[in-house]
Structure 1
Amino acid sequence: MEADAVTPPEFLKAEAYEYMGSAPLAADRYTSPAFFQRELAAMWPNVWQFAAREEEMPDVGDVVVYENAGRSYLVTRQDDGSVRAFHNVCLHRGRKLRLESGWSKEFKCPFHGFNWNTDGSLKEIPCRWDFGHLPDEKMSLPEAQVGRWGGYIFIKEAPGGQTLEEYLAPLPDHFQRWRHEECSTVIWVGKVIKANWKAVAEAFMEAWHSVITHPQILPFTGDANTRYNVYGDHVNVALTPFAVMSPHLDKSAHPQQWIIDEFLKYNGRAGGSDLAVQVPEGVSARKAMAATNRDRYAEQTGYDHSHASDAELLDAFTYNVFPNFAPWGGFMPNIVYRWRPWPDQDATLMEVRILSRTPKGQPMPRGVDLHMLTEEEPWAAAVELGALGGIFDQDMANLPFVQEGLKVSKNNEVQLGDYQEIRIRHFHRTLDKYLAKFG
């Protein structure tokens, strides 16, 4: 960053590392049904969860069915433009009121016809004469907390606790520059992975696995030069430099133009192989690529990018918000990850979104629907992901075997590096705090 043509903001340059010890984690944290039940009871109800994006539900009456950790919610756009979230359970015999997202003027149970308004108030009970013991005020749908930031909609089941802004800090301050509220979901792909939700999330918390798992990206990825920062209990980030060679490679063996060519070939966010970037004599690949992005992002969006640092135009700023939300920062199409246990400790629904900034002056488009891959389909089958699909397939090839290995671990230990895997240790420290407080 220090050598970049445009200096990045101070929060990107600042170190925020904390040594958290070197003790191993217990392998059965990933495999034990009892530990998973502790998470369901003590952690999930008490954390803010990313449930939807604003562009998924722009109109009054739009409903997103958000399901996670044994709960189901109706996240609903109200008449005044606000958003509320109700438990997706009929108060008569317990059937789910809705199975899919969409639009509705009411929440009518398909079993017996008990009916609610979209503000959660009771609308109708068939054969009302038989339910004199159920006054209207007792029959409002139970509600979860809702918070909104940056185009993201969050829910929290338990009342009280930190506000969303307090919970996310310092994420809102960092992302002021990158304006995710001006973006919409243009790609959204999901797939069920046969591994614990924590193991899947942790595969994206460190960059140094690239030397073995993703060797094709080493020509343009400073994998082992990643900076890892942790903030409070809920937020951490990996800052991985791009358009520079991995320290695992011989820098004298290739010219700067080769770095750019490899970058465009294998990094879909960089622009793809149809983009040609020439590196002038005496200029680094990093500066040449940043200058290209600065111009083309301004042309594509109508927003001035002259203040954008090279790092913000190139690098992977992979933030993680406890427990399962990971938005990328920077001025470019932004990746967003979400992981949900699906349905138990041995499987995970992993979702990958790509956000793109809506051009200046144009209306916000409605977000695309989820493209759900089958068990047999690789991530590469989602052609809209481009080169990223192959990257995810490399990651996912490891994870089922991680889960199998954890189940038969003889010493019940998972070892972590003190620095490069600090985000994983930070994650588990926070998880333990919730289990101790609410368990």
Structure 2
Amino acid sequence: MDANTKTLTAEHIAARSPGPSYQDLLDKEVNPVPDSLRENTNPYLGSDNLSVDRYLSREFHELEVEHIWKRTWQAVCRVTEVGEPGDTFVYDIATMSIVVTRTEQGTLKAFKNACLHRGRQLVDKTGNYKDLRCPYHAFTWSLDGEFKGAPCKWDFPHLDEDQFGLPEVLVDTWGGWVFINMDRNSQSLHDYLGVLPAHFERWKPENAYKMIHVEKVIPCNWKVGWEAFIESYHAVATHPQILPYTDDADSQYDVWGPHISRTITALGVPSFHLKNLVDQDVVDTMLGVSPMVARPTEAEVPAGMTAREFIGQLNADEFSKNHDTRLDTFATNSERMDSILYSIFPNFAPWAGFHPNITYRFRPNGDDHTSALMEIIVICQLASDAERPKDVPVRRLGDNELFSQAPELGESLGTIFDQDLFNMPMIQKGMNNVESRELILANYHEVRIRHFHQTIDKYINGEL
């Protein structure tokens, strides 16, 4: 325990907001609550501080490259983005580049993205290719990774063509996402994901299509950005406009094993920080602010209904316009509106539920440990009997563009991301001036950050 941390009692460790808990709200549901939402792990992972060097140090970044990025399962793209033979996706992480491709036989393959002749990157950009042909000297491999030939083959009598296939990395799929792992001795993706596949079986993200994908370079270590999305504690100061309909102080946090954690923040109820709001205030503030909230933008709460029940009904009505089933016949209000945000270590965070689901991904901006790529992806369930739309391509915002200027996000939702964005460079700058060189974490609200760093340490120390 750190020198500036006092001994904690059981009461200290068990401390929670005095407001109604998420489980209390589930008790009021009319439809049966799925077991996954009734899980409440009540984690306590200690009270130790974090060194700022984890964010500022080049040496720590290099440890992450070696022990995290080279050894963990990472989400690359949607399965439908490599759905046809020849479809090829380039995934870059730190100094590494991986090619994921669909072969003529319909299988997925993933290779290290380098020509085995002189080392040039083999594939420069995502697209559809007949084969994998190096632009430098035309050394060529099939989509299966088998060597097909090169100009002047007579000049390479020492080359064993049967042993000259492209080095593969592990590739697998879950929930409509393609994952890769550069550690060929790694555990399977299914084992790595732990409880996640069972939890998401009800929501079927594999049936969704990608409707939004926005990316931006942010001036901070990737972990600074990531951590803003695995706790709700910052909402009261950073996002005050959402407090009338967001129960931030009573968020539930869960962890399972080393790789999976979750925050559930109830919507349609006001923050415990606010007083004297009525249901109509909640609805007036909430309607129309994001893809997770149904239209219309104005509506009167009927007598005898709470704001949460009313919003849930509106969302069920909206869903029924494009689907054969009605959410109000089986889904909880929580699944219709709440922020149910899981994370898969190290850097992938999908929402769950029966609404358009945001997914976050953060990674280093190339090999620069002081900047990162922040991605906001939204997937949406396909309407009944509808032809699947093409997944939208990623759109990178410019250095001076804000998320609120991205029309696909909308001003209200984009503003929330802008507010996070404004904090991030100031966190990176401020950590240089922390005299103790240590950061303090809340025991409950920031337990997912603590879990995240403990998993990093387990990988670096060879425990995983």
TM bucket, shorter chain: over 0.9
Q: Which moved more, 1:294-303 or 1:368-377?
A: 294-303
Deviation at 1:359, TM superposition (A): 1.3
Other-structure match for 2:383:
359
Structure 2 CA distance for aligned equivalents of residues 127 and 303 of structure 1 = 62
Other-structure match for 1:279:
301
Structure 2 CA distance for aligned equivalents of residues 75 and 161 of structure 1 = 18
* Secondary structure, counterpart of 2:462 in structure 1: helix
Structure 2 CA distance for aligned equivalents of residues 154 and 310 of structure 1 = 31
> Counterparts of 1:302-321 in structure 2 under 5 Å?
302-305=324-327, 306-321=329-344
Other-structure match for 1:407:
432
Structure 2 CA distance for aligned equivalents of residues 12 and 159 of structure 1 = 34
Aligned amino acid, residue 324 of structure 2: G
Pick from 315, 320, 325 the counterpart of residue 293 of structure 1. 315
Quick check: 2:43–2:253 contact (8 Å CA) kept in 1?
Answer: no
Deviation at 1:265, TM superposition (A): 4.1
Deviation at 1:381, TM superposition (A): 1.6
Deviation at 1:72, TM superposition (A): 0.6
Structure 2 CA distance for aligned equivalents of residues 278 and 164 of structure 1 = 47
Identical counterparts, % of pairs:
40
* Secondary structure, counterpart of 2:369 in structure 1: coil
Quick check: 2:75–2:180 contact (8 Å CA) kept in 1?
Answer: yes
> Counterparts of 1:11-410 in structure 2 under 5 Å?
11-250=36-275, 252=276, 254-271=277-294, 274-305=296-327, 306-343=329-366, 344-386=368-410, 387-410=412-435
Q: Deviations over 1:126-157 (max 9, x none)?
A: 11011111111221111110011110100000
Quick check: 1:217–1:266 contact (8 Å CA) kept in 2?
Answer: no
* Secondary structure, counterpart of 1:229 in structure 2: strand
TM-score, structure 2 length as denominator?
Answer: 0.92
Deviation at 1:69, TM superposition (A): 2.0
* Secondary structure, counterpart of 2:287 in structure 1: helix
Quick check: 2:294–2:318 contact (8 Å CA) kept in 1?
Answer: no
* Secondary structure, counterpart of 1:143 in structure 2: coil
Q: Which moved more, 1:89-98 or 1:275-284?
A: 275-284
Structure 2 CA distance for aligned equivalents of residues 418 and 6 of structure 1 = 33
Q: Which moved more, 1:156-165 or 1:260-269?
A: 260-269
Structure 2 CA distance for aligned equivalents of residues 301 and 58 of structure 1 = 25
Quick check: 2:101–2:108 contact (8 Å CA) kept in 1?
Answer: yes
Number of matched pairs: 436
Structure 1 CA distance for aligned equivalents of residues 231 and 451 of structure 2 = 12
- Where does the alignment leave 5 or more consecutive residues of structure 2 unmatched? 1-25
Deviation at 1:407, TM superposition (A): 2.5
Deviation at 1:45, TM superposition (A): 1.2
Deviation at 1:411, TM superposition (A): 1.0
Check 1:363–1:336 CA distance in 2 against 1; reply closer, same or farther (3 A cut): same
Quick check: 1:7–1:310 contact (8 Å CA) kept in 2?
Answer: no
CA RMSD of aligned residues (A): 1.4
Q: Deviations over 1:272-298 (max 9, x none)?
A: 5x4444311121000011112122212
Structure 2 CA distance for aligned equivalents of residues 107 and 249 of structure 1 = 59
Quick check: 2:171–2:178 contact (8 Å CA) kept in 1?
Answer: yes
Structure 2 CA distance for aligned equivalents of residues 301 and 342 of structure 1 = 40
Aligned amino acid, residue 285 of structure 1: A
Deviation at 1:438, TM superposition (A): 7.5
* Secondary structure, counterpart of 1:270 in structure 2: coil
TM-score, structure 1 length as denominator?
Answer: 0.97
* Secondary structure, counterpart of 2:261 in structure 1: strand
Deviation at 1:160, TM superposition (A): 1.9
Quick check: 1:55–1:365 contact (8 Å CA) kept in 2?
Answer: no
Q: Which moved more, 1:396-405 or 1:406-415?
A: 406-415
Aligned amino acid, residue 100 of structure 2: V
Aligned amino acid, residue 396 of structure 1: L
Structure 2 CA distance for aligned equivalents of residues 332 and 82 of structure 1 = 31
Quick check: 2:44–2:443 contact (8 Å CA) kept in 1?
Answer: yes
Structure 1 CA distance for aligned equivalents of residues 409 and 47 of structure 2 = 37
